[in-house]
Amino acid sequence: MISRAIGFEKGFELSEGNFFETFEIMLPKLMKYDVMVQNIAISINPVDTKLRQTGKGTKAPHILGFDSVGIVTQVGDQVPHLVAGDRVIFAGTTNRYGSYSEKQIVDSRIVAKLPENIPAEKAAALPLTFLTAYELLFEKMDLVSKENGNDATLLIINGAGGVGSIMIQLAKWAGLTVLATASRPETADWCEKLGADQILNHHKDLTKQVKKLGYDALPYIAVLHSSDHYYDEMADLLSPFGYLGSTVATAKDHNLAKLKAKSGSFVWEYMFAKTDYDYHIKSQGEALTLLTHLLSTEKIQSTLTETLDGLSPETFYHAHQIVEADKMIGKLVIRY
Amino acid sequence: MISRAIGFEKGFELSEGNFFETFEIMLPKLMKYDVMVQNIAISINPVDTKLRQTGKGTKAPHILGFDSVGIVTQVGDQVPHLVAGDRVIFAGTTNRYGSYSEKQIVDSRIVAKLPENIPAEKAAALPLTFLTAYELLFEKMDLVSKENGNDATLLIINGAGGVGSIMIQLAKWAGLTVLATASRPETADWCEKLGADQILNHHKDLTKQVKKLGYDALPYIAVLHSSDHYYDEMADLLSPFGYLGSTVATAKDHNLAKLKAKSGSFVWEYMFAKTDYDYHIKSQGEALTLLTHLLSTEKIQSTLTETLDGLSPETFYHAHQIVEADKMIGKLVIRY
């Protein structure tokens, strides 16, 4: 099966020009758990821009794209829960052609059916960021994935980004008190609108701001921006038996000993670890089913803030410019 | 209340001579949760030797000692579960006079009653190491504190030390497959006798030995010796979503990024974090009650291997020599 796709041959910087091109790619035969999906709306994540710069991702041409809403067109031999025509949502993997493509193949175990009442572009904004927030809170920290299941305080560094925007809402659903950081009036407003209880400014002294709110220390801290910059301060702010979680790679070594006297934990969340290592894969399909329930029942709202149209090199170049500027509030979606 | 105790005025090295002295210390008034205990048998832990070297611990004279079995002689106003005459077990705290003393005061919430069928010196060997093993496995890693509650493999670096000797048994009780490291024939035998399924030699290439047993990676790794030495190798050996746990301070910074791609966790266990920070203190009394059940029902055995007698400077000097030599198998107990 041939699919039109947008990709690139070698990693490039946006300043060098637009090296996104249109390719006709050959999709392989479906394996037993696979489905083929005709993509309708996909979203761009910060990881896309990193992979474009470094030229990593799939074999060349690199066809990125990790979020999609689409229609199932074919199903493998062992896919009991989906049929052709189903509208679905998924975040995909790093090891297959992605969603910058008319059609793609994805493991059905990481796919959820999307109820009719949820618009495609609103849902497409969410899967990768939702899975990251869900796994960090409920699998890597010891929080309970249940409405009002928790009674504790969570600090989110960079509340207005893609992961932060959904984490604020998921944490509120789960009963947590949420302190979120934002540094501009518009990002602060966004975090507040999503339910954050307190907004802190990460360009000012965070420790002082936390203590002014009456906290000596915090039991759950999610660093969604520059782990290198925040590690030392957050390690000091962490409560005994607390969790310091991070999603952003570190370039430097860090002083783990800072966490010892309080029996602290440092936990990483990387959403693709499950599919990269074939670890509890179907838990991602299950988590995305929860996402669709939360959207349907309006417990959480889409973090979509910007929509572009068209499966073209120009659209993707523009989308990468927007995301790479690192000022993004919420998520950008492209409709095909 | 005056108590005879063994302590020191300033930190010292054993090579300088024996600066342990006998003191008459004044024990303060009981607070509401406190009990006073007449110590019968106490044990020496590696942390004692570190505190003796650095001169830390309580205010001078430093009266160390973190494990005891004794008889309750007085109870505070809010101690519903204990009366004078009860035989009890506890690991104590770093912030009060310890068990190198005829009598001491301890918070009753970190104390458990000891059934009559368990000899004092056998029980006294265990509390600090048991709490460390218990908290690392069941509170810091995501394992289940239940007989046969788990189905996974745990690697213990330094299986024959105090914490390792009880962790092997506690992990077997909880259903885990246990790989324990030991480097001498007698420590290897000891680990095997305690129930370890496989013995590896930590003076040889551990990764090779683990792979030879058929494991590509391991989901639970407890480093009970030199975190600085083992961090890099164990970070590489860890499974996706795995837990790398440690009880031994690091002096160097470490490359946390090694754990990112597999969503790994690095967790510290320091048994005194709870009493230092007033965090869920009574969970330690509850865990020690489990210890007494496991001992009574012979699900686990004491790790006692050596007993000395007498509350004297000479006994403590000798005991510190033995423990500091870092060749200890199991635990050393002193009977008063």
What residues contact residue A96 under an 8 Å CB cut-off, 6+ apart?
A: A58, A104, A105, A106
Nearest to A140 among B253, B263, B274 (CB): B263
Q: How far apart are CA A274 and CA A215, in angstroms?
A: 35
Please name the amino acid found at residue B136: L
How many interface pairs between A and B have CB atoms less than 8 angstroms apart? 116
Measured between beta carbons, the chain B residues lying within 8 angstroms of A266 are 256, 265-267
Q: pLDDT averaged over chain B? A: 96
Contact B277 A240 (CB under 8 A): yes
Nearest to B240 among A257, A266, A277 (CB): A277
Q: How far apart are CA B157 and CA B160, in angstroms?
A: 9
pLDDT at residue number A326: 83
Query: What is the value of ipTM here, to two decimals?
Result: 0.93
Measured between beta carbons, the chain B residues lying within 8 angstroms of A263 are 135, 140, 267-270, 273-274
Please name the amino acid found at residue B296: S
Residue B270: pLDDT band by 50, 70, 90 thresholds?
very high
Residue-wise pLDDT for A135-191, tens only, equals 999 999 999 999 999 999 999 999 999 999 999 999 999 999 999 999 999 999 999
Contact B250 A260 (CB under 8 A): yes
Round to the nearest angstrom and report the end-to-end CA distance of chain A.
19
Residue-wise pLDDT for B147-161, tens only, equals 999 999 999 999 999
Residue B226: pLDDT band by 50, 70, 90 thresholds?
confident
Handedness of CA B25, B29, B30, B35 (dihedral sign): positive
pLDDT at residue number B56: 78
pLDDT at residue number A122: 98
Residue-wise pLDDT for B279-290, tens only, equals 999 999 999 999
Measured between beta carbons, the chain B residues lying within 8 angstroms of A255 are 250, 253
Contact B139 A276 (CB under 8 A): no
Q: Compute how many other C-beta atoms are within 10 angstroms of the C-beta atom of residue A309.
A: 12
Measured between beta carbons, the chain A residues lying within 8 angstroms of B252 are 253
Mean pLDDT computed over B2-30: 96
Residue-wise pLDDT for B197-225, tens only, equals 999 999 999 999 999 999 999 999 999 99
pLDDT at residue number B318: 97
The verdict on whether omega for the bond into residue A240 sits within 30 degrees of 0, i.e. cis, is no
pLDDT at residue number B328: 87
Alpha carbon separation from B32 to B105, B107, B109, B272, B287 (Å, rounded): 11, 9, 11, 21, 22
Which residue is associated with the tokens 């300088």?
A: B16
Contact A263 B239 (CB under 8 A): no
Count CA atoms closer than 13 A to A244's CA, side-chain side.
30
pLDDT at residue number A297: 96
Please name the amino acid found at residue A107: D
Angle, nearest 10°, between helix axes B46-54 and B313-324?
A: 110
Query: CA of B307 to nearest chain A CA: how many angstroms apart?
Result: 30
Q: Chain B within 8 Å of A255 (Cβ-Cβ)?
A: yes
CB A71 within 8 A of CB A251: no
Q: To probe the interface with A, which of B140, B216, B241, B246 has the most A CB atoms within 10 Å? A: B241
Query: CA of B252 to nearest chain A CA: how many angstroms apart?
Result: 7
Measured between beta carbons, the chain A residues lying within 8 angstroms of B256 are 227, 231, 250, 253-254, 256, 266, 268
State which residue of chain B sits closest to A278, comparing Cα positions. B240
Task: State residue B215 phi and psi, 5-degree precision.
Answer: -95, 130
pLDDT at residue number A328: 87
B57 pLDDT more than 80: no
Contact B266 A270 (CB under 8 A): no
Closest CA relative to residue A232, chosen from A263, A266, A209, A198:
A266
Enumerate domains of chain B plus CATH numbers: 2-126+279-335 (3.90.180.10), 137-268 (3.40.50.720)
The verdict on whether omega for the bond into residue B61 sits within 30 degrees of 0, i.e. cis, is yes
Contact B265 A239 (CB under 8 A): no
Torsion angle, alpha carbons of B175, B179, B181, B185, to 10 = 90
Contact A250 B256 (CB under 8 A): yes
Q: How far apart are CA A100 and CA A65, in angstroms?
A: 5
User: For chain A, which residues score pLDDT lower than 50?
Assistant: none
State which residue of chain B sits closest to A250, comparing Cα positions. B257
